[in-house]
Amino acid sequence: MSAIATESLLAGIDAAVEPNAPLGKRTYFSVGGCADFLASPRSEAALVDITRRCAEAGVPLRVLGEGANLLVDDEGVDGVVVCLDQPCFRERTFDRSADGVTLHAGAGLAMNRLIRESGQRALGGLEQMIGIPATLGGALRMNAGGRWGDIAQSTISLRLVGADAKVRTISASDAGFAYRHTSLPAGIITGAALSLRDEDPKELRERIKEISAIKAASQPLAANSAGCMFRNPADSTGRRLSAGALIDEAGLKGLCHGTAQVSPVHGNFITIETGGSTRHVAELSEQVAQRVHDRHGIRLDREVVFWRRGGSE
Ligand SMILES: Cc1cc2nc3c(=O)[nH]c(=O)nc-3n(C[C@H](O)[C@H](O)[C@H](O)COP(=O)(O)OP(=O)(O)OC[C@H]3O[C@@H](n4cnc5c(N)ncnc54)[C@H](O)[C@@H]3O)c2cc1C
């Protein structure tokens, strides 16, 4: 479908629409081309309209969170990219009942903000997510987390506009949360209910400080990256091996390819120079996977999502 046809496809929908919108600056890698259209719906109903029209016209539809786990091709992406940056997707309420506190939050909210606001109320339950840049929607889709836990453990349910334009509420037990993975139907998460608990504010602050310090000491936080490039692979007993250690043992820390480099600080981070090329990151990640396979006989799967024209992974 031509760009003009896509523009008319979005006509009359209550959304801010930007044609030919640069995506690189909206990702942590800071590289990559443009989206044919970037749409910020002003209501869930408008998001449903966009979804329905894209489905009927066969136009690709993607959703962008904070761009912290995303590599956008140098040639950009086709179709419509939705961004949940309007106020209706950033509302939150803290509801107390006899069972505890439930946080109802929009999927466009930054996790760091939710952690901070929970902390101000002396509520714990999200601190395992500290230092993971994400919107709530992106964290849920990836089941983001690490050694302190993941978003699944705090999730009661989520709301999703499916690729069929139907709005569903899905309980955590039906979301198929697994290690850095969900089995959700295709679609866009618009919000979630999260379970919080009363905490001693001092202990909560200390825990957050401790996790932040460990991350700051072991990750190249100032560089352009998307965090861990690869999932930790499982061995034959199901135990997760550290992809970073496998990369380190293969002697790949510091390896450069064009504008991309395997971080000398953390082997599972690939970093890129500002103004660099997505192609370099993609090629370097393939080299790393191949050399880890040559050395250890283990296949590494990419955790970072790669968007490109004509299809994404
Ligand atoms: C410095 C650094 C450290 C990191 N550390 C960790 C870590 O410790 N643990 C960890 O798990 N990750 C980590 N990451 C990766 C990243 O933070 C997570 O994957 C995070 O969940 C990405 O969220 P996002 O909103 O940025 O999603 P994006 O990167 O914008 O999108 C990622 C995927 O989620 C989809 N998505 C986004 N929003 C929605 C939505 N509303 N509905 C449905 N799908 C959606 C996108 O379409 C895409 O497929 C790190 C990244 C960086 C840069």
Q: What's the CATH code of the domain at 121?
A: 3.30.465.10
Write down the pLDDT at residue 308.
96
The beta-carbon contacts of 241-244 under 8 Å, at least 24 apart in sequence, are 241/298, 242/268, 243/267, 243/268, 243/292, 243/300, 244/268, 244/269
- 292 within a domain of the structure (yes/no): yes
What angle in degrees, to the nearest 10, is found between the helix axes of 201-218 and 111-120? 150
Residue of 34, 54, 83, 228 marked catalytic: 228
131 C-alpha to center of ligand 1: Å? Answer: 12
Q: Are residues 119 and 207 in the same domain?
A: yes
In angstroms, what is the span from residue 8 Cα to ligand 1's centroid? 31
Rounded-to-integer distance, Cα 39 and Cα 265, Å: 37
Question: Rounded to the nearest 10 degrees, how much is the dihedral formed by the CA atoms of 128, 133, 136, 141?
Answer: -90
Q: Has residue 289 got a pLDDT over 70?
A: yes
Assess whether 142 and 207 both reside in one domain: yes
Whether 303 is catalytic: yes
For residue 68, is pLDDT > 70?
Answer: yes
Sorting pLDDT into bands at 50, 70 and 90, what band is 99?
confident
Q: In this structure, are residues 172 and 202 in contact, taking their beta carbons and an 8 Å threshold?
A: no
**Amino acid in position 257:** H
22 and 139 in a single domain? The answer is no
Say if residue 182 is in the same domain as residue 249: no
Tell me which residue has its CA closest to atom 51 in ligand 1: 227
Number of structural domains (the chain) is: 3
Query: Would residue 225 count as lying in a domain?
Result: no
Q: Do 51 and 143 have their domain in common?
A: no
Residue 293 belongs to domain spanning: 243-312
Rounded CA-CA distance 114/176 in Å is 23
What percentage of the chain reaches a pLDDT higher than 90? 92
Predicted local confidence at residue 246, as pLDDT: 97
Same domain, 69 and 100: no
Residue 5, pLDDT > 80, answer: no
- Kindly state whether residues 82 and 95 are assigned to the same domain: no
pLDDT band at 1 (very low <50, low <70, confident <90, very high): low
Asked if 167 and 205 touch (Cβ cutoff 8 Å), the reply is no
Q: What is the mean pLDDT of residues 281-285?
A: 98
Distance of CA 204 to the CA centre of its chain: 25
* Distance from the alpha carbon of residue 98 to the mean position of ligand 1, in angstroms: 33
pLDDT digits (tens, 9 = 90+) for 12-43: 999 999 999 999 999 999 999 999 999 999 99
Of 29, 90, 132, best ligand 1 pocket probe by most atoms within 8 Å of the beta carbon: 132
**Edge-to-edge strands of the sheet including 260-262?**
256-257, 260-262, 270-272
> Please, what is the average pLDDT of the chain?
95
240 a catalytic residue? no
Per-residue model confidence as pLDDT tens digits over 148-190: 999 999 999 999 999 999 999 999 999 999 999 999 999 999 9
What distance in Å separates the CA atoms of residue 98 and residue 138, rounded to the nearest whole number? Answer: 30
Last residue of a domain, one of 65, 86, 107: 86
**Residue 278, domain member (yes or no):** yes
Q: Which of 38, 109, 141 is the pocket-test mutation for ligand 1 (most atoms within 8 Å of CB)?
A: 141
Is there a catalytic annotation at residue 180?
yes
Q: What is the C-alpha to C-alpha distance for residues 102 and 97, in angstroms, rounded to an integer? A: 8
Residues with CB under 6 A from ligand 1: 28, 62-70, 84, 107, 132-135, 137-139, 141-142, 144-146, 180, 188-189, 219, 221, 225-227, 305
One of 180, 207, 302, 308 is an active-site residue; which one?
A: 180
Q: Judge whether residue 301 has pLDDT over 70.
A: yes
